[in-house]
Amino acid sequence: MSRNQELFDRSRHLIPGGVNSPVRAFGGVGGVPRFFQRGQGPHVYDADGKRYIDYVCSWGPLLHGHAHPVVLEAVRAAMEKGLSFGAPTGLELEMAELLTELVPSIEQVRLTSSGTEATMSAIRVARGFTGRSRILKFDGCYHGHSDSLLVKAGSGLLTFGQPSSGGVPAELAALTTVVDYNDAAAVRAAFDQYGHELAAVIVEPIAGNMNFVLPDPGFLQLLRDLCTQHGTVLIFDEVMTGFRVALGGVQALYGITPDMTTLGKVIGGGLPIAAFGGRRDIMSCLAPLGSVYQAGTLSGNPVAVSAGLATLHLAQEEGFHVALGERTREVTEGIAALGRAAGFPMCAVSVGGMFGLFFRATPPRNLPEVMECDRDSFNRLFHAMLDEGVYLAPSAYEAGFVSAAHDGDAIQETLAAAERSFARLRAAA
């Protein structure tokens, strides 16, 4: 029996589903999850010692690959001075200064330990600021696992075919209005019906939890205009896209200024940090200044902040995101071209170090179109690539990630693996 199998069997007795976050269980693709014991650069090594080129990168945080020496050194230096104080530190101020400089729509920011806390808190602040209760979100967008946001959500909920979670009171879910991504008419209709009640619109400005879906031209501007007209807080959830697609996130790429932004993943460089921030007048509602309560013992943890600062400083290097975008395009367009050559309708979409691969001729614009993709072919490709030593996200509904450590060799190796994998898929068809 493989060590992965043995660890999975034992874990299932003690941990629900054997995992601490559902998508990891391989429920969407079948088979045995790989238990990793170490990572280095673009590679991860499983419990059986097998090496994989990693296109998950811890679901986004590892912008520079595994165990980058500069990030590790920053962690070591911070750790020597103490692990946690539960009191303010100069490092948190440094992080606040950097985030507000890189994302100018953020005038004030607060650090949390997870993206879920960041989005949950942003919604609470928006509700406190506006005195309204209803929020609007988009089908297939995932904003963490707080109650109000687990309605028609993406990520693991899609993978397991249950887009709205059990355990969420119907009364609370009723305050979440959901419309299709990129559906301008539906957004207008929702504002016509509920505009005066809407505290917030929350959106992944590029959606990364129903695979990877770009906003139509004008879609984000429409949200901006309607929110301004109705006094609704526009929240860009850039937990995934922040510092991944561009230094200033999607808002810099598309030139749209949200009222609030949530960040996570990259800003911790692999340790648990997230953030929410935005307009000063809105953020002033937070305790201890205002009535909206939010707190956390480990918020702004110095070791995690240090890893994040090192990660962000490395990303500030001139041309960093252009180079990352070129690598990502090379590998993803290459895989899609090999798929098409093998007779599969396929396309790839990528921005910076994030990507989507689709068994479909054209990029999907919303969740119904994502669901039209050929999931069986994805699952077979996933396993063929896994055998070949390439670790893709274990779900057809998750975005993929490339790091700066994915060099030419890793990309060529991936493409060679893809060619062999498609040959196997074709032979089995």
Q: Which of 54, 139, 152, 265 is catalytic?
A: 265
Q: Is residue 293 among the annotated active site residues?
A: no
Q: Is residue 237 among the annotated active site residues?
A: yes
Give the up-direction half-sphere exposure of residue 124: CA atoms within 13 A in the CB hemisphere: 18
CA nearest 160: which of 63, 267, 24?
Answer: 24
Q: Is residue 376 among the annotated active site residues?
A: no
Q: Which of 46, 180, 237, 259 is catalytic?
A: 237
Contact between 211 and ligand HOZ (CB under 6 A)? no
Alpha-carbon Rg for the chain, nearest whole angstrom, is: 21
Q: Which of 142, 181, 254, 391 is catalytic?
A: 142
> Looking at 19-27, 212-220, 275-283, 330-338, which segment touches ligand HOZ (CB under 6 A)?
19-27
Q: Which residues contact 83 (CB under 8 A, 6 or more apart)?
A: 301, 302, 303
> Looking at 17-25, 177-185, 281-289, 417-425, which segment touches ligand HOZ (CB under 6 A)?
17-25
Q: Which residues of 82-109 are buried (b: 16+ CB within 10 A; e: fewer)?
A: eeeeeeebebbeebbebbeebbebbebb
Site string for ligand HOZ, 288-307 (x = CB under 6 A): --------------------
Contact between 116 and ligand HOZ (CB under 6 A)? no
Closer CB to ligand HOZ, residue 21 or residue 162?
Answer: 21
List 262's β-bridge partners, or say none.
Answer: 237, 276
> Looking at 16-24, 265-273, 285-293, 347-355, which segment touches ligand HOZ (CB under 6 A)?
16-24
Site string for ligand HOZ, 382-401 (x = CB under 6 A): ----------------x---
Contact between 155 and ligand HOZ (CB under 6 A)? yes
CA nearest 313: which of 43, 39, 74, 60?
Answer: 74
Least Å distance, CB 318 to ligand HOZ, is 30
> Looking at 20-28, 297-305, 355-363, 408-416, which segment touches ligand HOZ (CB under 6 A)?
20-28
CA nearest 303: which of 76, 87, 97, 112?
Answer: 76
With 0-12 / 13-18 / 19 or more C-beta atoms within 10 angstroms meaning exposed / middle / buried, residue 10 is: exposed
CA gap 114, 209 in Å, rounded: 16
Q: Are 181 and 138 in contact (CB under 8 A)?
A: yes
Binding residues for ligand HOZ (CB under 6 A): 21, 23-24, 59, 155, 209, 398
List, by residue number, the catalytic residues. Answer: 142, 237, 265
